[in-house]
Amino acid sequence: MAELLVRNARLVNEGREFDADLLVRNGRIDKIAGSIEGVRARLEIDAAGQWLLPGMIDDQVHFRDPGAPHKGSLASESRAAVAGGITSFMDMPNTDPATLTLEALADKKRRAAAVSRANYSFHFGVSNDNLETVAALDPTQVAGVKVFMGASTGNMLVDDPKVLERLFIACPTLLLAHCEHTPSILTNEARWRDRHGDFIPATAHPRIRDAEACYRSSSLAVDMARRFGTRLHVLHLTTARELALFAPGPVADKRITAEACLHHLLFDDSDYVRLGHLIKCNPAIKSRSDRDALRQALADDLIDVIGTDHAPHTLEEKRRVYARAPSGLPLVQHALPAALELVSEGVLSLAQVVRKTSHAVAELFAIRERGFLREGYWADFVLVERLLQPRPVASEPVLAHCGWTPLQHRSFHHAVRTTVVSGQLAWHQGQVQDRCQGLPLLFDR
Ligand code: DOR
């Protein structure tokens, strides 16, 4: 017997929209057809009036496992993720210990295999002294290699030009870069400290981590990638100026790609007054015109994918003074509804959101048999309802372990009704389905 038959859905896939039924068998999409008859399934869902979209593949999360269970864990944050329509995630290496060795990588995989509700994979980290391990990585065993070319949470800055050069030459897989120029950030911060002592206002954050710091670092990364032929993916762009570094077009044609994150698409610097350190993140949320330029760059295919950069910290930590309040915000629980606001606002089409959150991510990382609604592929999808009345985020319990969301004053026009991960119900009728177990992502490289 098949596991699941979804009837009467409106599918959005590979640029097309159409009404169909979808059958799941052995974790995979068995059949997509106008009407599927004569088949028995353990569960049938009538999805009339709902969109059926490929689940979001989030290329950047910080789930804090191992090392900071008071902030989050693979178990808690993957539960929040499936509620937000994320079916697969790629976790960053700035855990404790950092993912700088094959042992640390194997440990994270073991942990996820036991508790992750979503499909999972891991980026490998770079330090000043693990280049040999990085160069020898099996590209099928990691999602990518992440380098902090700007300092952020967890002391992983790599700024020695010689190490960077060797990394750009020898990286055996996609190289993901966090780009901010740390020396200019430190100079800016010292200037604000001279004036305000410990009490630097949150509104200073985009002036300390400013557009110049971003450009100096991302232009260096792009220059090096061009020089050495590196397959580079620049993470979380935040400024209009950086966009000139990237070319439009499909992912398949590019050696240098870019990501935008939800908070940089939803907030701007006017939000610091109300939300303070709750929206303190690296790189910083910048001006309204930067935000609008990022949105346009997505529409123009200068920016290829949308991620969350989910980075939970506790409220107690966020309430500290500027220098001691950590950067990062929890976002996975509202990922797809937040991305779909760009559709409601007329910035992107539904097909474009599907491409940036799923198809393009699968192509970029060469993920095997996921990211598209195709017969034979894994059944990773969501049912989404367009609401007549926008729903306040505050009306739902927060699932991230930190217990807060920067979106608490927002309302969204779409709700994720069901999330299916590798053929299993992961989120349904407002509940995480804790029997669901995510699978490791595999890469065709
Ligand atoms: O704001 C951020 N938080 N940016 C990062 O680069 C790291 C992240 C975290 O891990 O907290």
The answer to whether residue 439 sits within a structural domain is no
Burial 192-207 (b: 16+ CB within 10 A, else e): bbeeeeeebebebbbb
The answer to whether residue 321 sits within a structural domain is yes
Work out the pLDDT band at 270, boundaries 50, 70, 90: very high
The answer to whether residue 442 sits within a structural domain is no
Residue 281 alpha carbon to ligand 1 centre in Å: 6
Give the strands of the sheet with 305-307, arranged side by side: 56-61, 86-91, 119-125, 144-148, 175-178, 232-234, 256-261, 305-307
Residue 256 burial (10 A CB sphere; 0-12, 13-18, 19+):
middle
Same domain, 120 and 268: yes
Q: Is 328 in the pocket of ligand 1 (CB under 6 A)?
A: yes
Same domain, 49 and 59: no
Same domain, 48 and 196: no
Atom in ligand 1 nearest the alpha carbon of residue 62: 10
Same domain, 309 and 376: no
Looking at every residue in the chain, the average pLDDT score rounds to 98
Do the beta carbons of residue 358 and residue 55 sit within 8 Å?
yes
Same domain, 103 and 137: yes
Same domain, 28 and 123: no
Q: CA 84, CA 426: separation in Å to the nearest integer?
A: 11
* pTM attached to this predicted model: 0.98
Q: CA 166, CA 402: separation in Å to the nearest integer?
A: 38
The answer to whether residue 445 sits within a structural domain is no
Same domain, 218 and 315: yes
Same domain, 201 and 283: yes
The answer to whether residue 397 sits within a structural domain is yes
**Given phi > 0 = left and psi -120 to 50 = alpha, else beta, which region is 224?**
alpha
Residue 152 alpha carbon to ligand 1 centre in Å: 6
Q: CA 174, CA 437: separation in Å to the nearest integer?
A: 27
The answer to whether residue 443 sits within a structural domain is no
**Residue that is last in its domain, among 364, 393, 422:** 364
Q: CA 148, CA 154: separation in Å to the nearest integer?
A: 10
Could you tell me where the DSSP H helices lie in 345-432? 350-354, 360-364
Do the beta carbons of residue 252 and residue 304 sit within 8 Å?
no
Residues 116-174: pLDDT tens digits?
Answer: 999 999 999 999 999 999 999 999 999 999 999 999 988 899 999 999 999 999 999 99
Q: Is 94 in the pocket of ligand 1 (CB under 6 A)?
A: yes
Residues 68-101: pLDDT tens digits?
Answer: 999 999 999 999 999 999 999 999 999 999 999 9
User: What pLDDT score was predicted for residue 155?
Assistant: 85
Same domain, 223 and 92: yes
Same domain, 62 and 188: yes
pLDDT at 328 over 90: yes
Q: State the CATH number of the domain containing residue 382.
A: 2.30.40.10
Residue of 70, 176, 309, 314 to mutate, ligand 1, most atoms within 8 A of C-beta: 309
Q: Is 62 in the pocket of ligand 1 (CB under 6 A)?
A: yes
Q: Is 78 in the pocket of ligand 1 (CB under 6 A)?
A: no
Q: What are phi and psi of 260, to 5 degrees?
A: -120, 150
Do the beta carbons of residue 120 and residue 112 sit within 8 Å?
yes
The answer to whether residue 120 sits within a structural domain is yes
| Residue 136 tokens, joined | 């020898």
pLDDT at 187 over 90: yes
Residue whose CA is closest, atom 7 of ligand 1?
153
pLDDT at 285 over 90: yes
- pLDDT cut 70: percent of the chain above it: 100
The answer to whether residue 171 sits within a structural domain is yes
Q: Is 152 in the pocket of ligand 1 (CB under 6 A)?
A: yes
pLDDT at 227 over 90: yes
Residue 411 burial (10 A CB sphere; 0-12, 13-18, 19+):
middle
How many folded domains does the chain comprise? 2
Q: Is 327 in the pocket of ligand 1 (CB under 6 A)?
A: yes
Residue 329 alpha carbon to ligand 1 centre in Å: 8
Q: State the CATH number of the domain containing residue 133.
A: 3.20.20.140
Question: What mean pLDDT comes out for the span 251-260?
Answer: 98
pLDDT at 37 over 90: yes
Do the beta carbons of residue 375 and residue 304 sit within 8 Å?
no
Same domain, 145 and 124: yes
> Residue 378's domain spans which residues?
2-53+372-403+411-432
Same domain, 331 and 378: no
